Amino acid sequence: MPKNAPESSSLVGAEYEVEIGPVAHGGHCIARTDEGRVLFVRHALPGERVVARVTEGEETSRFLRADAVTVLDASKDRIPAPCPYAGPGRCGGCDWQHAKPGAQRRLKGEVVAEQLHRLAGLTPEEAGWDGTVVPAEGDKLPAGEVPQWRTRVQYAVDASGRAGLRRHRSHEVEPIDHCMIAAEGVSELGVEKREWPGMASVEAIAATGSQDRQVILTPRPGARLPLVELDKPVSVLRVEEKDGGVHRVHGRPFVRERADDRTYRVGNGGFWQVHPKAADTLVRAVMQGLLPRKGDTALDLYCGVGLFAGALADRVGDKGAVLGIESGKRAVEDARHNLQGFDRVRIEQGKVDQVLPRTGITEVDLVVLDPPRAGAGKQVVRHLAALGARRIAYVACDPAALARDLAYFGEAGYKPRTLRVFDLFPMTHHVECVAILEPVEKRR
């Protein structure tokens, strides 16, 4: 029986002394109680013996969530968390502050390998992966040092108007004075130093390759915007209560990002890779994998503001052609602006599974897809496989979604040629993957 067991069916607060097993997808490790209950334990490392306190779950739950509140036998990979806000019940932004940087990458690699095996039936060798998780340039730091990589930070605001970050799986706010993983351009705005009365959240953005700085304010219902005076010049946008749209208050409604020797306009807080090295790292991996040729036709699906479409257009030349598909209206406007210098690039707005069949395209040479966290899905994968591309680049921010879609590609006649895994989210459980696929039977 657990210590401190509550009287109701809820097991929150109950404590178990457990041996920590393997890492699992989501920033926790797996453990089992003496009675055989499965615990998903945060703030632990494989091989440790800890006291785990339940944070979610009942007697009838299939598994329980828990925090390691006391470490009885520590892993050699454990270090004191550099961040004072990390730990049980504190900020939920980082998962692995308590692990050495090399150990973090090994854990992430184990998660990717497990997802490939479980969901796609692939070994690392069959996926064309050497098993390594590669840090971004400049991120290979000694234990106890934290890379300042997060160029976009969404601060939650508590009832008193103080900015902080959400606690793990909670709406509660952990007030902070400084986020260690925030990029210098975000930290220098000083969001944490001032009060934000009436605001629900404040997102701070520091562009890469320009001095553009932006804050996006989400007011609580009925609240008025405060006068924004930060430590650096900044544009201000507001999320409207009625429609959820983002509107300019003052300054530019966009920031200018830089990648692959091009400048990209990103409006209204639209999607851009968060790590300052991520866009260039991913473009390089995709282009090295696809090896575009002059005159190729290519698709860029879920194209955002046109990062990969621009890289493809540069490489396929005037006789090639690129079609991008993106569902976000503002992102499409930005992509068309960003790529207006290319006569043979077209950007269509809509969901990929709806727009792609309507294009009438029956064959292409190359495909890039960078779907949202849920993945592309069987319908889109089957359609892509029928187009007969000689290579497909799949950029994935979730290894489970990637593995599921690799299984669908396998059924449709495509296999991974190479897989590369990048640690573009240090201290968290997230990774970015680039898989290059080709037909099982070469078609061209």
| Catalytic annotation present for 303 | no
State the catalytic residue, choosing from 83, 94, 179, 397. Answer: 397
Helix/strand/coil (H/E/C) assignment for every residue in the chain = CCECCCCCCECCCCEEEEEEEEEECCCEEEEECCCCCEEEEECCCCCCEEEEEEEECECCCCCEEEEEEEEEECCCCECCCCCCCCCCCCECCCCCCCECHHHHHHHHHHHHHHHHHHHHCCCCCCCCCCCCEEECCCCCCCCCCCCCCECEEEEEECCCCEEEEEECCCCCEEECCCCCCECHHHHCCCHHHCECCCEEEEEEEECCCCCCEEEEEEECCCCCCCCCCCCCCCEEEEECCCCCCEEEEECCCEEEEEECCEEEEEECCCCCCCCCCHHHHHHHHHHHHHCCCCCCEEEEECCCCCHHHHHHHHHHCCCCEEEEEECCHHHHHHHHHHCCCCCCEEEEECCHHHHHHHCCCCCCCEEEECCCCCCCCHHHHHHHHHCCCCEEEEEECCHHHHHHHHHHHHHCCEEEEEEEEEECCCCCCCCEEEEEEEECCCCC
Task: Give the residue numbers marked as catalytic.
Answer: 397
